[in-house]
Amino acid sequence: MTRHPFSQDLRDRILYHLTRTQGREPEAATIFDWRLAVSHTVRDLMVDPWMTALRHTREQGAKRVYYLSMEFLIGRTLGDAVINMRLNEAMDEALGQLGLDKREILEDEPDAALGNGGLGRLAACFMESLSSLQCPAVGYGIRYEHGLFRQRFEAGQQVETPEDWLNQPHPWEFTRIDYSYTIGFKGHVEEVDGGVEWHPGESVIARAYDMPVIGWNGEWANTLRLWGAHPTTLLDLQRFNAGDHAAAAEPEALARTLSRVLYPDDTTEAGKELRLKQEYFLTAAALQDILRRFLSEHGDLRLLPGKVAIQLNDTHPAIAGPELMRLLMDEHGLGFEEARDLARGTLNYTNHTLLPEALETWSTWLMGRVLPRHMQIIEMIDADHRAATGRPDHVGIVRNDQVHMGELAFIMAGKVNGVSALHTDLVRSTVFADLHRLHPDRIVNQTNGVTPRRWLRMANPALAGLIDETIGTGWTADLDRLSGLEPHADDPAFREGLRAAKRRNKQWLADHPLGDLGLKADPDAIFDVQVKRIHEYKRQLLNILEAIALWRRIHDDPNGDWVPRVKIFGGKAAPGYWLAKTVIRLINDVAATINNDPMTGKFLQIAYPPNYNVSMAEMLIPAADLSEQISTAGKEASGTGNMKFTMNGALTIGTLDGANVEIREHVGAENFFLFGLTAEEAAAETARPGHARAAIEASEDLRAALQMVAEGRFSGGQGDPYFALLDRTWNDDPFLVASDFGAYFAAQRRVDAAYRDQAEWDRMAALNIARSGYFSSDRTIRGYMADIWRAGPVGG
């Protein structure tokens, strides 16, 4: 056996931390102790590149990028750090010497689930790419004590329990008690000889908790700085001494509420005072930190746009516009116009959605009460913009006593970007059509991407190894090099390798996660996967109705030549999103019925493992044959799950929505199962009275499937739980499940036919991988650097 030169050293370091950090001897150590010892060992090795990056950035006076996001859906850190630092083989050897099971150690780490879905995962991929590209950057977020809720099913229904990742030491974190800022709320505003003073009525302390984010090759680490809320006064000692112990702790409890929980409302607006306070808490702490650092390095505020680029991930931190102006005017004495121009030269905004219910608004009453000075500045910004552009009244920030955060973000931004080509076109022609006419150069596109380190090299070692053998390892930092696989798509040996890698991933999924659900999944069946938040526009309903229709057909012809399929669902619904929760229940009910049908069992099974998160995505995606990307055209801004699947050699069945459009252009129309209405056709269809009824009447498969649900075929003879869902599908169907059903069913049969020809399927899968290079978040970040931030990499 060849000994990696570093493994002995790693082994010693792990043993050092086991005793010195964990206070354990090997004989008494638990998996948790070992995992912390290994994590501290890896963390030690991250510190030098981290400090070096900070020093280079400072010495070169380089422009910094600041990424403000209410969500960072990180998942686990250890495995990713080991891969990025090229420690994989040495670590395998060191752990082997210690008699430890690597998978067991990696899986002991709780997911950092500080996000709901795509938006938060994008922020995490961006942080990794910024470090891999050696672009000086800081991510700012909130250190939620409780990340996204845990999901279980009881009688098929979603039950939420609190997530508790910080109920144990967090080895990746450095607490910075020296970086603390006071954040005010409420109170009153006073005019004092020409200036304005805001006297907040409440305040909390924002304390910095830093995590290094190590890039590929371990040469550079940026900082993810998460803010924790702490009280300005710890304890009401008078009350405590008077014996009222619970009341004495109240100030602390109130302050900590701000960083207690992540809002689980995926895409729908949370109209809560607490949410507004959380958004301001993040933004105000970040801006104070940014200005402090800027002033210590550069001094002259007029240099701000040349040295600082701030990206607002959606409108959640859009209060940054008024807050930055407040700091510049009230604290640094600049005039309105100079403050406005500096802010606009610094801030940029990413739009993530066109869904009307997801566009944030706050009543002027609430804004004026929680942030009285900001409300004044918002009015000033609005009046100034009206005067400067002569725009009509309906275009403004404040309308009908509501503050529209999208308009505020747009007006205060140097650049506004959409997240896929189609989405950006729709941003220009719909939500911001009027503002786009006034500022035709402001909106740009940056199609999303995902990091190939986590989503290919780490998540799919079998495929990554095959690619390494075929074209070398250069693809890891330059994903366009996957195109070197293209000629191999016709090579039977390569296709055999591809098939074997996929088969290995499927076998593992079948044995473990699916086996744990009591399912015996056939790894030769099509693994058909739809994993993402449960939302009407993503149309899990369409998928499960197709399953019912298919099951009915198999049932009618059980000796037919059916192509075996395992349909896998994963995803959470927002706790208050009643219709989405009904869809979860339906999937589980249908699964229970179909999985117990001995007549159809070898052809169709349905699995819905609970608590979908990043770690589950890392298991499911590499094992998928078919990627379900079936949202109503015009509704999914981009999607990033779609990209992860493509990179891992799954073929897509999908609509012309979000980045699906670009995925199809890249992989080739003949290697993509397209169906359904276009965004334009969907808009027209939605406006056509009776569209759903007409579509249902035209499809016997759909009619029968809906009928079975109504009769309680999957719910013990009682259809009641589904009446509202069925009623909506028949009479309203805003997301066109019925109108697209026929095309979807037909496309699935094309999938069946294609899967029969294994060699051809493998060729298509190979071409999907070879042509997926564009969907690296490195490409996306290079686009932001060139078109939005005007920032470059710093030589290490």
Ligand X SMILES: *Cc1c(COP(=O)(O)O)cnc(C)c1O
Min CB(657)–ligand X separation in Å? 11
Which residue do the tokens 């290490």 mark? 796
Q: Does 147 bind ligand X (CB under 6 A)?
A: no
User: Taking CA 131 as the corner, what is the angle to CA 129 and CA 135, rounded to the nearest 5 degrees?
Assistant: 100
Min CB(217)–ligand X separation in Å? 24
Annotated active-site residue 63? The verdict is: no
Min CB(728)–ligand X separation in Å? 22
- The nearer residue to ligand X, 16 or 165, going by C-beta atoms, is 165
Min CB(781)–ligand X separation in Å? 17
Annotated active-site residue 532? The verdict is: yes
Closest C-alpha among 123, 177, 171, 135 to residue 312? 123
Q: Kindly give, in sequence order, each residue whose CB lies less than 8 Å from that of residue 757, ignoring residues fewer than 6 positions away.
A: none
- The nearer residue to ligand X, 118 or 368, going by C-beta atoms, is 118
Catalytic entry in 352, 428, 442, 553: 352
Catalytic entry in 170, 535, 644, 782: 644
- The nearer residue to ligand X, 343 or 614, going by C-beta atoms, is 614
Write the DSSP symbol of residue 610: S
Min CB(614)–ligand X separation in Å? 5
- Scanning residues 722 to 781, which ones bind ligand X (CB under 6 A)? none
Annotated active-site residue 640? The verdict is: yes
Q: Does 532 bind ligand X (CB under 6 A)?
A: yes
Closest C-alpha among 482, 529, 505 to residue 767? 482
Beta-bridged to residue 184, according to DSSP, are: 203
- The nearer residue to ligand X, 76 or 442, going by C-beta atoms, is 76
Q: Kindly give, in sequence order, each residue whose CB lies less than 8 Å from that of residue 602, ignoring residues fewer than 6 positions away.
A: 522, 564
- Scanning residues 161 to 190, which ones bind ligand X (CB under 6 A)? none
- The nearer residue to ligand X, 618 or 740, going by C-beta atoms, is 618
Min CB(632)–ligand X separation in Å? 14
Catalytic entry in 225, 277, 533, 779: 533
Catalytic entry in 538, 553, 567, 779: 538
- The nearer residue to ligand X, 117 or 523, going by C-beta atoms, is 117
**Backbone torsions φ then ψ of 702, nearest 5 degrees:** -70, -45
Q: What's the per-residue H, E or C state across 135-203?
A: CCEEEEEECCCECCCEEEEECCEEEEECCCCCCCCCCCCEEEEEEEEEEEECCEEEEECCEEEEECCEE
Annotated active-site residue 602? The verdict is: no
- Scanning residues 601 to 620, which ones bind ligand X (CB under 6 A)? 613-614, 617
- The nearer residue to ligand X, 549 or 617, going by C-beta atoms, is 617
Residue 617 CA to residue 647 CA, distance in Å, equals 13
- The nearer residue to ligand X, 372 or 641, going by C-beta atoms, is 641
Residue 741 CA to residue 735 CA, distance in Å, equals 11
Q: Kindly give, in sequence order, each residue whose CB lies less than 8 Å from that of residue 557, ignoring residues fewer than 6 positions away.
A: none
Which residue type sits at 439? H
Min CB(594)–ligand X separation in Å? 24
- The nearer residue to ligand X, 458 or 794, going by C-beta atoms, is 458
Which residue do the tokens 């302390």 mark? 205
215: three-class secondary structure by DSSP: coil
**Helix H or strand E segment including 62:** none
Min CB(665)–ligand X separation in Å? 18
Min CB(718)–ligand X separation in Å? 32
- The nearer residue to ligand X, 76 or 436, going by C-beta atoms, is 76
Tokens read off for 713: 């075929």
Angle between helices 737-756 and 691-698 (to 10 degrees): 40
Min CB(164)–ligand X separation in Å? 18
Closest C-alpha among 579, 512, 507 to residue 540? 579
Min CB(137)–ligand X separation in Å? 21
Annotated active-site residue 207? The verdict is: no
Whether the Cβ atoms of residue 61 and residue 307 lie closer than 8 Å to each other = yes
- The nearer residue to ligand X, 112 or 261, going by C-beta atoms, is 112
Q: Does 76 bind ligand X (CB under 6 A)?
A: no
Q: Is the dihedral of CA 108, 112, 117, 118 positive or negative?
A: negative
Q: Is 623 exposed, middle or buried (0-12, 13-18, 19+ CB in 10 A)?
A: buried
Catalytic entry in 223, 632, 640, 780: 640
Min CB(343)–ligand X separation in Å? 31
Closest C-alpha among 77, 535, 70 to residue 262? 70
Q: Is 391 exposed, middle or buried (0-12, 13-18, 19+ CB in 10 A)?
A: middle
Annotated active-site residue 763? The verdict is: no
How many CA atoms does the CB half-sphere of 785 hold within 13 Å?
22
Q: Kindly give, in sequence order, each residue whose CB lies less than 8 Å from that of residue 388, ignoring residues fewer than 6 positions away.
A: none
- The nearer residue to ligand X, 532 or 666, going by C-beta atoms, is 532
Tokens read off for 507: 């076998």
Task: Cite the beta strand spans of 215-341 per DSSP E.
Answer: 221-231, 308-313
Tokens read off for 584: 């979860």
Question: What does the per-residue mask of binding to ligand X show for 104-143, with x meaning CB under 6 A?
Answer: -------------xx--x----------------------
- The nearer residue to ligand X, 7 or 116, going by C-beta atoms, is 116
Count of positions on this chain that bind ligand X (CB under 6 A): 11
Q: Is the dihedral of CA 81, 83, 87, 90 positive or negative?
A: positive
Question: What does the per-residue mask of binding to ligand X show for 631-650, with x meaning CB under 6 A?
Answer: --------xxx--x------
Long-range contacts of residues 343-346, Cβ cutoff 8 Å, at least 24 apart: 343/412, 344/412, 344/413, 344/414, 345/304, 345/305, 345/414, 346/304, 346/305, 346/308, 346/309, 346/310, 346/414
- Scanning residues 239 to 278, which ones bind ligand X (CB under 6 A)? none
Which residue number places its CB atom closest to ligand X? Answer: 641
Min CB(378)–ligand X separation in Å? 32
b (16+ CB within 10 A) / e for 414-430: bbbbbbbbbbbebbbee
Site residues for ligand X per CB under 6 A: 117-118, 121, 532, 613-614, 617, 639-641, 644
| Residues acting as catalytic residues | 352, 532-533, 538, 640, 644
